[in-house]
Chains A and B, each alone.
Chain A
Amino acid sequence: MTRVGKTWILGVALSLVLLVLIALSLRFGAAGADSVVIWNIRLPRTVAAVLVGIGLASAGVLLQGSLRNPLADPALVGVSAGAALGAVLGAAIGLPFNSIGVTSVAVVTSSLAMAVVVWVSRSNGRIEVVTVLLAGIAVSAFGAAVISIIISVSDLAGARSVTFWTTGSFALSNWAGVNSMWPAIVIGVILAFYLAPSLDLLALGDEGAYASGISVFRTRTLALLAAVLLTAAGVAVVGVIAFLGLVVPHAIRLVIGPAHRQLLVISALGGAVALLLADTIARLALSPVEIPVGSVMAIVGAPIFFILLGRARNRQGGWA
Chain B
Amino acid sequence: MILTARGCTVYGEGEQLRLDAIDVVVGQGEVHAVIGPNGAGKSTLMAVLSGMRKADSGVVEFNSRSLHDLSVVELARARSVLGQDLAVTFGFTVAEVVAWGRAPWRGTEQMKGDKAAIKHAMEVAQITSLQNRRINQLSGGERKRVHIARVIAQNCPVMFFDEPDSELDLIGTNELDETLRGLNQAGRTLLISSHNLSWISALATHVILMGSQKIVGAGPTREVLTTGLLSQAYGREIDVQWTPNANGRLVAMCTSS
Contact = CB atoms under 8 A, between A and B. Distances in A.
A68 interface: yes
A68 B88 CA distance: 9
Interface in A1-16: 3
A200 interface: yes
Contacts of B87: 205
Interface string B176-208: 000000000000000000000000000000000
A191 interface: no
A68 B89 contact: yes
Given A211-B80, A212-B154, A201 B85 contact: no
B92 A207 contact: no
Given A197-B106, A207-B83, A212-B76, 16 more contacts: A3-B93, A200-B96, A201-B103, A205-B85, A207-B52, A208-B81, A211-B52, A211-B81, A212-B80, A212-B100, A212-B101, A212-B154, A213-B75, A213-B76, A213-B103, A215-B72
A258 interface: yes
Interface of A: 3, 68, 70, 197-198, 200-205, 207-208, 210-215, 253, 257-259
Contacts of B50: 211
Contacts of B77: 213
Contacts of B88: 203-204
A190 to B, nearest CB: 18
A205 B100 CA distance: 13
A210 B72 contact: yes
9 contacts: A70-B89, A200-B96, A205-B87, A207-B83, A211-B83, A212-B100, A213-B103, A214-B72, A257-B96
Contacts of A197: 103, 106
Interface in B185-233: none
Given A205-B87, A207-B83, A207-B85, A213 B92 contact: no
Closest 7 CB pairs of A and B: A213-B76, A213-B104, A258-B90, A211-B81, A203-B89, A213-B73, A68-B89
A27 B73 CA distance: 53
Contacts of B92: 200, 203, 257-259
A211 to B, nearest CB: 4
B164 to A, nearest CB: 14
B91 interface: yes
A211 B86 CA distance: 12
